[in-house]
Structures are given as C-alpha cells and as structure tokens.
C-alpha cells in the first residue's frame, strides 16, 4: 500500500495512477514531457538520417550514457594514440548530451556552433547542412523501434545509419527508473514509494513505454540485421567485461582500423563508473530539471534489484515477464 494513496492528482489517462506533468499517449505508449508527439512524429516523418550517422538507442536507464562516453572516445580518437589527446579535449569541454544529441527531446540547449538555444533535432539538422554528411553524427534515442523504422524506411537500405543498442535486466531497469522518477521534474518528481512504482511497472504504465513492448522489437531487429549495421550490447556485458565491449564497439565503428592498447586503457579508465559519476561532463549535475539531491549516476551495479524487490514482487514480476523473456531467449 502506498504511503500517499488517494492524496495526489490522478492521471486523466489512467486514473489508477498519479498524474505526470505533460503526459501523453502515442502509439500505445505513455510519454513524459521530455518529449512530445510533435517531436516523435518529426523523427518518423521528416528527420533525415545519413549513412554516416551512428544511432545510440536503449530503453531509459539501461546504460546509454555509459555507451555514449565509450563511443565518443572511440569516435574522436579513431582508436589511435595520435588522436587520443584531441579526443580527450573534446569530451572534457562538452557535456555528453551535447556530443550525443537526444533526438526526440523537448529540451533546448546551446549546442556547439549554435548562436541560440535549440532542440537537438534542429541542431542535428544544422549539422547535416553544414557538414554535407561527411562527418558522422552521434544520435541518442529512447524511441521504440517502429518510430525509428519509419525514418529508416524512407532510405535505401545501403544508405541507412548504423545502430548501437544497449539493453539491461528489466528488474534493474525498474529500480533505476524508480529513482529517476523521484529525481526528475518531468516525472513530477514522483512522490510515491517503491511499492506504488512497482505496480506501475508491472502494468507497463511507465514514461517511455512498457519494457515488454519497447525492448523486444529492438533486440529482434538486432538478430536479423547485418552485423555491420547493428550491434546490441547488454549493460551487464558493459559492466562485467568493459574491455571486450570496447573492442567490439571499436570494431563495429572502425572495422578497418586497430584499437591501440594505450587508447583502450585510457578509455577503460575514463569510463569507469566512479570516474563518470565525478565527471561533470557525464554526471548531469548541471541539469536544472533534476532536484538538487538527485544523483543521475546512482550505483551503476548489476543486480541492485535484489535490494528492492520483495519475494512476492519478484514472483509477480517473473510471472508478468515470463512470456517476453522466454521469447527473447
């Protein structure tokens, strides 16, 4: 039983749960105010992806910031020692959300080379016009695959961008998402307790969509895609064997070049959880939408769900996710 049951404004979309600021439904998924139906439709119907682009995708709180920092360092250094210092300078002077723009996001920021604050999609379009498609754009998204597929289907198959996809144990995602809800203005911030949020998770009433509906299509796409076009990596792999993941990502991004050992070692050091949590370019400390006490990079471990789920909740979760997880095996 929630501590604050019946004391909060109910959602007009689902009276069972509390209202989330700016919430809306699109294609059967609940979305918070960090995006908009207009932006999602713009990605689907208008945004022009380039064959040089790298899309970094994942369900919220699944490790996309970790993946982004690794990708930036590999991309800027080309895996070579001669470019390493330049790569470090680039990641040290610009926050990760400027280096890997969040395409569907409503937030406006002063992106590099821009004189006014704009949304990520507008900035990415300016890059396309300025660079004539010669320089890869790193693009973040939390959208379901069918939305990105709409954009890809407007392109010839040989002109489509490459995709890096990160996924995570949904139990750990649920815990991380609960803490995210409690710290971000776009979600309220959420004032309920874990038990209340767990009911929302089981019902799939989560900003960003039901994990069971959003993640499987991405993973199935990874299975049928050419290995040169899409690479799926689990958060557990990123944490437990970062070196192997760095090697795999490098080979995916730069198949014609070798990753020099010194570059690999520097990337491993710079992307450790402790380093990234202290790094103002990756820890989101300056983002006004977070409450002051919020820690964007909270624990970064595997299996934290065991500290949150009751035995009954674990049983209910496994029953609710049984078919989905079996289908993904």
Residue carrying structure tokens 């208008």: 46
Quick one: DSSP state of residue 11?
P
Yes or no: say if 286 and 304 are a contact pair by the CB < 8 Å rule: no
Residue 9 lies in a domain: no
Rounded Cα gap, residues 108 and 167, in angstroms? 27
Rounded Cα gap, residues 182 and 290, in angstroms? 9
Q: In whole angstroms, how far apart are CA 270 and each of 66, 96, 259, 274, 276?
A: 10, 13, 16, 9, 7
Nearest to 60 by CA among 138, 123, 141: 141
Whether 251 has a pLDDT exceeding 80, the answer reads yes
Q: What is the CATH number of the domain that holds 293?
A: 3.40.50.300
Residue 44 lies in a domain: yes
Residue 8 lies in a domain: no
Yes or no: say if 51 and 235 are a contact pair by the CB < 8 Å rule: no
**Which one from 75, 142, 250, 251 is the annotated catalytic residue?**
142
Whether 5 has a pLDDT exceeding 70, the answer reads no
Quick one: DSSP state of residue 254?
-
Averaged pLDDT for residues 76-97: 94
Q: What is the percent of the chain with per-residue pLDDT over 90, rounded to a whole number?
A: 71
78 is annotated as an active-site residue: no
Yes or no: say if 20 and 187 are a contact pair by the CB < 8 Å rule: yes
pLDDT of residue 134: 66
Averaged pLDDT for residues 161-167: 98
pLDDT of residue 293: 61
Residue 15 lies in a domain: no
pLDDT of residue 273: 84
Residue 19 lies in a domain: no
Yes or no: say if 292 and 115 are a contact pair by the CB < 8 Å rule: no
Nearest to 285 by CA among 273, 272, 298: 298
Whether 81 has a pLDDT exceeding 80, the answer reads yes
pTM, two decimals, is 0.92
Backbone torsion region of residue 109, taken as left when φ is above 0, otherwise alpha when ψ lies between -120 and 50, otherwise beta: beta
Per-residue confidence at 3, pLDDT binned at 50, 70, 90? Answer: very low
Provide the domain count of the chain. 1
pLDDT of residue 84: 97
As given in the structure block, the two tokens for residue 299 are 């624990």
Per-residue confidence at 108, pLDDT binned at 50, 70, 90? Answer: confident
As given in the structure block, the two tokens for residue 59 are 């369900």
For 24-80, write each residue's pLDDT tens digit.
999 999 999 999 999 999 999 999 999 999 999 999 999 999 999 999 999 999 999
Average of per-residue pLDDT values in the chain: 91
As given in the structure block, the two tokens for residue 326 are 């079996």
pLDDT of residue 1: 37
Residue 17 lies in a domain: no
Residue 14 lies in a domain: no
Residue 6 lies in a domain: no
Instruction: Tell me the residue range of the domain where 107 lies.
Output: 24-328
Q: What angle is formed at CA 42 by the lines to CA 52 and CA 153, rounded to 5 degrees?
A: 55
Whether 295 has a pLDDT exceeding 80, the answer reads no
For 183-240, write each residue's pLDDT tens digit.
888 777 888 999 999 999 999 999 999 999 999 999 999 999 999 999 999 999 999 9
pLDDT of residue 185: 80
Q: In whole angstroms, how far apart are CA 25 and each of 131, 146, 214, 248?
A: 36, 15, 14, 37
């Amino acid at each position: 039983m929630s501590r604050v049951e019946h004391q909060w404004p109910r959602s007009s979309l689902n009276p069972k749960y509390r209202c989330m600021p700016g919430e809306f439904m699109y294609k059967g998924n609940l979305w918070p105010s960090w995006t908009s139906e207009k932006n999602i439709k713009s990605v689907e119907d208008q945004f022009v992806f380039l064959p040089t682009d790298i899309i970094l995708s994942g369900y919220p709180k699944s490790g996309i910031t970790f993946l982004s920092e690794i990708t930036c360092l590999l991309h800027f250094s080309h895996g070579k020692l001669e470019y390493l210092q330049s790569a470090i300078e680039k990641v040290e002077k610009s926050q990760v959300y400027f280096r890997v723009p969040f395409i569907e996001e409503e937030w406006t920021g002063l992106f590099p080379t821009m004189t006014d604050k704009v949304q990520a999609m507008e900035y990415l379009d300016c890059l396309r016009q300025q660079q004539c498609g010669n320089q890869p754009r790193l693009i973040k998204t939390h959208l379901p695959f069918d939305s990105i597929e709409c954009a890809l289907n407007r392109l010839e198959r040989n002109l489509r961008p490459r995709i890096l996809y990160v996924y995570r144990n949904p139990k750990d995602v649920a815990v991380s998402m609960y803490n995210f809800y409690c710290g971000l203005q776009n979600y309220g911030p959420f004032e309920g307790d874990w038990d209340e949020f767990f009911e929302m998770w089981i019902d799939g009433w989560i900003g960003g969509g039901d994990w069971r509906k959003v993640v499987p299509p991405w993973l199935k796409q990874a299975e049928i895609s050419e290995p040169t076009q899409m690479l799926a990596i689990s958060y557990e792999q990123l944490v437990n064997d970062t070196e192997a993941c760095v090697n795999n990502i490098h080979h995916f991004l730069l198949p014609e070049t070798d990753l020099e050992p010194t570059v690999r070692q520097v990337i491993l050091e710079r992307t450790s959880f402790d380093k990234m949590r202290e790094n103002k370019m990756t820890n989101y400390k300056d983002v006004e939408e977070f409450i002051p006490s919020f820690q964007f990079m909270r624990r970064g471990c595997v299996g934290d769900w065991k500290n949150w789920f009751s035995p009954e909740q674990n049983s209910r979760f496994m029953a609710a996710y049984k078919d989905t997880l079996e289908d993904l095996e």
